Amino acid sequence: MSEEKKEEKTEEKKKILIIDDEVGLRNLLKFRLISFGYDVMVAEDGYAGLEIAKAQAPDVIVLDIMMPYLNGIEVCKKLKSDLKTKGVPIIFLSVLAQKEDIDAGREAGGEFFLTKPYDPQKLDLLIRMALKGERQPPEMLEP
Amino acid sequence: MIRSFFLDNSDYVAIFHGASFFLLGVASTLLYLRQQAASGAGKRYGLLFLGCFSFFLSLYQVMVIMAYGLMRPGLWHLERDIVLVAGFVLLFESGLMRLRPRARWSLNFFVLLPLVACTVTIGCASKSVAVCEVAIRQFLALPAALLVAFAFWKKADVERPVFSTRTARFVSAIFFLYGFFAGVIVPGSLWGTPYLFTEQRLFAFLGLPAQVLRASFATLLACIFIWRITRSLFAYRASLGLGRRPAFLLPLSFGVLYVAFLVSGWQLVQAVAVHERENVRRLVLKEARLYAEALLVSSDVDVLGLTQKSAYPALRHAHQRMVDLAQQDSFARALYLVRVEEERSVFLVGSRVQIFPSLVFPDFGAQVPTKQILDAFQGRQPTFAGPYADRQGRPFFTVFLPLDRAGAATLYLLALDLDGVKIFREIRRARLFPLFGVMAFLILLIVGYGFLIIFAVTNTELAVQKANLDKAVTHLRETEAQLARSDETFRGILSNSPNAIFGFDRDLRLIFWNEGAHRLYGYESHEVLNEKNPVENRRMVDLMGMEAYEREIVGVFQGQTLVREVAHKTKSGPSVDVVLTVFPVKDPQGNILFGMGLAQDISAHKRLEAALKEERDRLTIIAAHIGAGLSLIDKDFKILWFNEVMQGWFGKLETAQGRLCFDVFHRRQKVCDGCPTEQAFRTGAVSTGVQSVTYPDGRTIDFSIISSPIKDANGVTCQVLELVQDVTERRRLEEEVKRYTESLESLVTERTAALTASELMFRRLFESAQDGILIMDAENGNIIDVNPYLLQLLGTRREEIQGRPFEATRLFRETPALRSISQELSGRFTVFHDDVVLAAASGREINVEVRASWYYVGKRRVIQCHLRDITERRKLERIKTEFVSMVSHELRTPLSAIKEGVEIVADGTQGHLSSSQKECLEIALSNIRRLNRLIGDILDISKIQSNLLMVRRVPCDVTEVVDHVTHLAKIEIEKRGLVLETDIEKKLPRVVADRDRLIQVLVNLLNNAVKFTREKSRIHLTVRRTGNEVMFAVADEGPGIAEEELSRLFGRFIQLDSTLVRRVGGTGLGLYICKNLVDAMGGRIWAESRLGVGSVFKFVLPVEKDASR
C-alpha cells in the first residue's frame, strides 16, 4: 500500500477525504472532486483513513462501506467517537442500497448516503450541503 | 103388632125418627161443647154441625107429622133431602178440615157438583119435583153419607181424637149405613110418587121400614156420642177426684129425655090424631048434612022415593041435582045414594054415573065398605070409610049419611066421596096451632135443655177450672221463682255469648243488646238503648242497614223465623258478613212477646269459603286441564269421581258415578287381571300398569294407569287416585322406533366401523405428517394434541405440552406470533404467519411458517395450527438474496468506476472534447445507465421473489418528479425521431410514494412506449388528479395489444411478440417490477389498448392525506 500524503491547501478550498478500497474509482472521484474545486485526500482502507482524518482534519469525508479489514460502518463509528473527527460530516458512498444498509449508516452517525453508481451532480450537492451543515432530506437517499 | 104399629101409622115412625135425631143433636152439641172446654181454641165444628143438623131433622120429622098435607108432597121432601145432603156435606167438611182447602174444595167440586148438576137436570128434565127429590136423595144422600163416613174414618187418625179409632170407625160405618138407607131405600109410597125402588120388595126382604132403620141408626149414633161425653167427663172427674155422681147424670138425663120424647110424642100424636079425627068427622058430617038438605030440599023430585024402578026422568033429575051439588067447591067429589037390600048394598043414583041406573060403581073397587054401610043403615048413624085411592090414585074418604023421613026407617044412605087431599089439608090446617105450639115447646125444650146442660157442664167445668186455677197459681209461683233464676242465667248467657244477640219489639226498636253485639257492630249498649225513654231506642233495621228486609222481619211477629246471610253496617264503617237469625220469642201460650236476633260473624268464614271455592275451582280447572284422565275409586271399586278427560273416554260422570270401575271402563264382571288399582289397594304402594279398552265400535285404546293409594288417618288405603293416559299413539310410535332402532343399529355398526377405519387413517396421517400439527382449545388455550413431528421439531416430549395451556409452555410463550393467534382468529377463519421463529428445547432457533384455522369439534372450538419448518427455505432464500445482493454489488462496483471514468471525461473536466468524442462517450454512458438499471431490476426481482421489496411511502412532489423524468426521457425519445407530448395538470398534489421508484416506473413505461411505438409517432404522457389519486398515463401509437393479453402483461418474463424481442430487447421484467412497485406504493397499474391504434399504460397513486385541495 502506498501511502498518500494529504495535501493541505490553506486557501478557502475545502478538504475532502475519500476512503475507498477500489483504486480506480478512488482516483476518478478524486479527479471529479478536484474539478469541483475541492482539495481531496484519499485513503485506501479504514485504518489509513482514520489516521488521515485525525491528522488532516478534513471538512467532509466520503466513505465507502465495503472495505477489507474495517468496513465503513465501523470507520464511521470510530470517527464519530473520536473528539477530533466527531464534527466532520460523513457521506457514505456504497453499492449497498438496502434500507438496512442505509439505516446502519445512519445509526453509525453518517449524515449522508449515496449509492454507486452515483450521479455526480448529486454528489456535488450533498457535499455542499454537508459543508453547510445541513442534513440529507430522505427523498434524496438514492440515485 | 110392631109392623102394624109402624107401617100403618107413619107418624109413629116420624116420631121415633124425630126423637132419635133430637137425641143425636143434643149429644153432638154436648160433645162439641165438651171439646171446646177441654181443648180451648179448637175449630172442630163437625160435631156442632151434626148437632144442628140432627135438631133440624128432628124438627122436621115433627113437622112432617103436623104439617102433612099443607105442602106439596114432593117439595118438602126435596127440602129435607137438600138439608140432608147439606148436612152431610158440612159434616164432611168439618171432618176434613185437616185437609188443605184445595183438597177439600176439589172434592166438593169434582164429586158433589156433578152429582148436583145431573140430579137437577134429571129433575128438570122430567119436570117433576118428586123425581128431582128422589134423585137427590138417591144420588146425593148416599155419597154425602159416604163422605161423612170417610171423614170419620180419616178422623180416626187424628191426634187427640174425639173417639178412639175403633169407635170412630164404627161411627163412620153407621153413617154409611144411614146414608145407604136414606139414599137407596125409600119409605112407603102412599101418595103414588114414582120411586126407583118400590118398597114392597125391600120391606119384604128387611121386614122393617127404612125410616125405622134410619132412626135406629141415629139413636145408635147418639148413644155413642153420649157415651163418649160420659167417658170424658168420667175421666175428667176422676182426675180431679170428684165423685161419680155427676158423670151419671148426663146419660141418665138423656135417657129420660129420649123416652119422654118418644112417649110424649106418641101421646101427642095420638091425641092429635083423635082430635083431628073428631074434627074431621064433625066437619064432614056438617058438610054431609048440608048436602043432604040441599039434596032433599031443592029437588022437585022425591029423592027418597026413588027406587030402581023409578021413572027415568026422576032418576035423571036426581042425578042432575047430585051433579050440581058435586060441582060445588067443597069436600065432596061425588054423591050417590045407597040402599041396603037384603044385606046387600045397592048403589042407586049418583053424581058419577056410567050406565044408568043400576050400574053405579063407586070407586071402591073391591073394597066395598059393607060394614060401614050396614052400620050406617042399621044404626042410623053416619059412618066413615076410607081412605081409598081412586083410579087416578087420589085419596078419598066416603061418609054414609042415613037419609029418612021424619023418624021413619032409613031408606037411603047418602054416600059422599070426600076429597082426601082436601080433608088432609083441613086436618093439617087444624094441626097448625098445635104444631106451632109443639114446635115452640120443643124448641124451648131443646134450648132450655141445652142451656141447662151447658150450664151444668160449664158449672162443673167452672168448678173444675177453679180448682185448676188454684193449682196453676201455686205452680206459677214456683215457676216464677225458677224463672227469676233462669232469667239470671239467661242474661248471663246472652251477655257472655260471643255472638251478637239483640232483642227488638214490634216497631223493630231494640230492647236488648248484648256484649257480643257491641263487639260485632261497635255500638255500646247505651248508644243503642235509651233506658229513660225507650221510644228513642234505635231501630235495628236502620242500625244494621237492613231496610230491604224490614217486611220480612216484621213477619217474625206472625211466628216466622228468618235466617239470612247479609252484610251489616258497623259503627266504624266497614260492613261485616253475618248470618242473621231472627225469631219470635213466645210465651207458653204461644203469644209472641218480642223478636230476637242472633248475628254470627262469618267474614272469616266467608273468606275461607271464598278461598276454598277458589281452591276448589283451581283444582277443578287443574283436573280439567291436566291433560290426562283422573279418577277416584273407593275400596269397593266403585267410581267416586272422574274428570272431563275421562268423561271424553267413558261417558258422563252422572251415569258412571257409583258404578263399579271394571264395569264402566272395561265392561267386565270382575276386577281385571293386573289392575294397578287393585295392587294399590292391596300393597298400599303406587302401582302402574297398562290396560287395553276395546270399544263396541271396534276401536282399541291403550291406557297407562298410575294408581296412587290415598290413606286415611290410620294409614289404611281407603281410596285410590288413578292417573290415566292414552298411550296408544305412544305405543305405536314405540313399536316404530324399535323397528327403526334395530335398522339404525345395524347402520350405526357399519358406520362406526367405517368411521373407526377413517379415524385410524387420519390418526396415522396426523402421526406421520411431515409438518407440525398443533391442536388447542380456543377458549382456554389448552393444548389438546401435538403430532410427533412437532414434538421432534421442538425437542420435547408429549407430556410436557399436552393438556397444558398454551401460555404455560415456554416454547410458545416466547413466540409473540403464536400468542396472538387466538386473537387474530377471532375475526378471521385462517391466519398465516411466515416469519415465526421458534425456540426448540435445545435452544436452536427454528423458522416456521404457521397456518392456523379454527373449527368446531362438537361444541368445542379448536384451533389447528400447521407449523412448517422453513429454516432450510429461509436459509436458501437468505443465501440467494445474499448472492444476488453480492453479485449485484460486485457488478455495480466496476460499473460505478466505469461510469465515473466515462463521465469525468465526457464532462470535459479532463479536457475539451470534440462533439464526436462526446457522442461516443454519451453512447457509452447511456449503456452504462442501462446496465445499471438492469442490475437494479435483477435485484428488485430477487427482492420481490423473497418478499423483501421495500418501498418508502412519503409525500413526493409529482410535478418535480415528472419534470425530471421528462427531461431525461426527452433526449432519448427525440434521438429516435419520436415526439414526447406531455399533458401535466397544474398544481398537482403531493402523492404518497417512493420518489426513486416512481421515477423508475415512469422511466420504464416510457422506455416501453419508445420500444413499441411506430416510427415517427408520438408518445403522450398525461398526469392528472382524479379524486384521491393522481393518474399517470403513458400512451403510444404502437400496434396495440389484444384484449386477452392485457391481463397477462404484468406477469414475469412476459413479452408479447417474440419477434420483437430482438428488435426491442429487454428482459420482460419491466412491467412485472412496475406492478409490484405500484402495488407496494398503494396504487394500481393497468393497460388499455386498441389493436392497430395504440396502447395506454396507466397507474394511479394515492394523494397525500392532508392535501386539501
**Counts of helices then strands in chain A (DSSP H, E):** 5, 5
Helix, strand or coil, per DSSP, at residue B918: helix
Question: Inter-chain contact A116–B954, Cβ cutoff 8 Å?
Answer: no
Q: Which of B575-579, B611-615, B796-800, B945-949 has the lowest mean pLDDT?
A: B945-949
pLDDT for the residue numbered B448: 72
B991 strand-pairing partners: B956, B1103
Q: What does DSSP assign to residue B339?
A: E
B925–chain A Cβ distance below 8 A for any pair: no
Q: Is A29 exposed, middle or buried (0-12, 13-18, 19+ CB in 10 A)?
A: buried
Q: Which chain A residue has its CA at the smallest distance from B995's CA?
A: A139
pLDDT for the residue numbered B192: 36
Return the C-alpha torsion angle B669, B673, B676, B681, nearest 10.
70
Q: What is the pLDDT of residues A96-110, one digit of tens each?
A: 877 788 888 888 888
Q: Which chain B residue has its CA at the smallest distance from A98's CA?
A: B950
Average pLDDT along chain B:
77
Q: What is the pLDDT of residues B642-701, one digit of tens each?
A: 888 888 888 888 888 888 888 888 888 888 888 888 888 888 889 998 888 888 888 888
B904–chain A Cβ distance below 8 A for any pair: yes
Q: Which amino acid is at B668?
A: R
Q: pLDDT grade, residue B535 (50/70/90)?
A: confident
Residue B198 has pLDDT above 80, yes or no: no
Long-range contacts formed by B465-473: CB under 8 A, 24+ apart: B467/B240
Q: What is the pLDDT of residues B909-932, one digit of tens each?
A: 778 888 888 888 888 888 888 888
The CA distance from B745 to B581, in Å, is 79
pLDDT for the residue numbered B355: 46
Chain A residues touching residue B921 (CB < 8 angstroms): none
The CA distance from B169 to B177, in Å, is 12
Q: pLDDT grade, residue A9 (50/70/90)?
A: very low
- B893 vs A31, A32, A95: nearest CB: A95
pLDDT for the residue numbered B1064: 45
pLDDT for the residue numbered A92: 92
The CA distance from B650 to B661, in Å, is 11
Return the number of other C-beta atoms located less than 10 Å from residue B821's C-beta.
25
Residue B196 has pLDDT above 50, yes or no: no
Question: Inter-chain contact A28–B909, Cβ cutoff 8 Å?
Answer: no
The CA distance from B500 to B494, in Å, is 9
Question: Inter-chain contact A117–B932, Cβ cutoff 8 Å?
Answer: yes
Residue B360 has pLDDT above 60, yes or no: no
Residue A56 has pLDDT above 80, yes or no: yes
A100–chain B Cβ distance below 8 A for any pair: no
Q: pLDDT grade, residue B399 (50/70/90)?
A: confident
Q: pLDDT grade, residue B42 (50/70/90)?
A: low
Q: pLDDT grade, residue A16 (50/70/90)?
A: very high
Q: For residue B909, give how far its alpha carbon lies from the nearest alpha carbon of chain A (Å).
A: 6
Q: Is the peptide bond before B194 cis (omega within 30 degrees of 0)?
A: no
Q: Which residue has the higher pLDDT, B529 or B89?
A: B529
pLDDT for the residue numbered B204: 47
Q: Is A97 exposed, middle or buried (0-12, 13-18, 19+ CB in 10 A)?
A: buried
pLDDT for the residue numbered B79: 58
Interface predicted TM-score (ipTM) of this complex, two decimals:
0.77
Report the half-sphere exposure of B957 (CA within 13 A, side-chain side): 9
A112–chain B Cβ distance below 8 A for any pair: no
Closest-CA residue to B544 (of B604, B608, B594, B598): B598
Sheet with B395-403, strands from edge to edge, namely B344-350, B332-341, B412-419, B395-403, B383-389
Q: Which of A111-115, B81-85, B824-828, B1087-1091 has the lowest mean pLDDT?
A: B81-85
Chain B residues touching residue A35 (CB < 8 angstroms): 904, 907, 909
Q: Which chain B residue has its CA at the smallest distance from A35's CA?
A: B909
Question: Any residues with CB less than 8 A from the CB of B597 and at least 6 apart, and which?
Answer: B500, B501, B502, B503, B504, B540, B580, B581, B582
Q: Which chain A residue has its CA at the smallest distance from B929's CA?
A: A117
A23–chain B Cβ distance below 8 A for any pair: no
Q: What angle do CA B580, B586, B587 make, to 5 degrees?
A: 155
Closest-CA residue to B325 (of B229, B392, B401, B234): B401
Residue A4 has pLDDT above 50, yes or no: no
Q: Is the peptide bond before B395 cis (omega within 30 degrees of 0)?
A: no
pLDDT (average), residues B161-178: 71
B104–chain A Cβ distance below 8 A for any pair: no
pLDDT for the residue numbered B72: 52
The CA distance from B668 to B656, in Å, is 14
The CA distance from A93 to A91, in Å, is 6
Highest mean pLDDT pick, A2-11, B839-848, B1076-1085? B1076-1085
Angle, helix B958-975 to helix B995-1012, in steps of 10 degrees: 30
Question: Any residues with CB less than 8 A from the CB of B361 and at least 6 apart, and which?
Answer: B347, B354
Q: For residue A122, give how far its alpha carbon lies from the nearest alpha carbon of chain B (Å).
A: 13
pLDDT for the residue numbered B123: 55
Chain A residues touching residue B892 (CB < 8 angstroms): 95, 116-117
Are residues B579 and B599 in contact, defined by beta-carbon separation less than 8 angstroms? yes
Angle, helix A72-81 to helix A99-108, in steps of 10 degrees: 20
Residue B250 has pLDDT above 70, yes or no: no
Chain A residues touching residue B885 (CB < 8 angstroms): 98
Q: pLDDT grade, residue B557 (50/70/90)?
A: confident
Chain B residues touching residue A24 (CB < 8 angstroms): 894, 897, 901
Query: What are the CA-CA distances from residue B880 to residues B67, B883, B884, B947 (Å)?
Result: 179, 5, 6, 13
Residue B163 has pLDDT above 50, yes or no: yes
Which cell is B996 given?
Answer: 426513486
Which cell is A43 given?
Answer: 485513503
A55–chain B Cβ distance below 8 A for any pair: no
Which cell is B414 given?
Answer: 047418602
pLDDT for the residue numbered B110: 67
Question: Inter-chain contact B910–A31, Cβ cutoff 8 Å?
Answer: yes
Which cell is B66 given?
Answer: 103436623
Strands A90-94 and A60-63: parallel
- A31 vs B892, B904, B954: nearest CB: B904
The CA distance from B853 to B867, in Å, is 12
Q: In chain B, pLDDT over 90 holds for what percent of residues?
A: 3
Q: Which chain A residue has its CA at the smallest distance from B936's CA?
A: A97
Helix, strand or coil, per DSSP, at residue B1107: coil
B882–chain A Cβ distance below 8 A for any pair: no
pLDDT (average), residues B1072-1085: 89
Q: Which of B151-155, B185-189, B198-202, B245-249 has the lowest mean pLDDT?
A: B185-189
Q: For residue A84, give how far its alpha carbon lies from the nearest alpha carbon of chain B (Å).
A: 31
Q: Which residue has the higher pLDDT, B123 or B55?
A: B55
Q: pLDDT grade, residue B732 (50/70/90)?
A: confident
pLDDT (average), residues B84-111: 63
The CA distance from B724 to B1106, in Å, is 83
Q: Which amino acid is at B486?
A: S
Question: Inter-chain contact A32–B899, Cβ cutoff 8 Å?
Answer: no
Q: pLDDT grade, residue A73 (50/70/90)?
A: very high
Closest-CA residue to B786 (of B864, B861, B858): B864
The CA distance from B645 to B622, in Å, is 11
Question: Inter-chain contact A32–B893, Cβ cutoff 8 Å?
Answer: no
Its pTM stands at 0.36
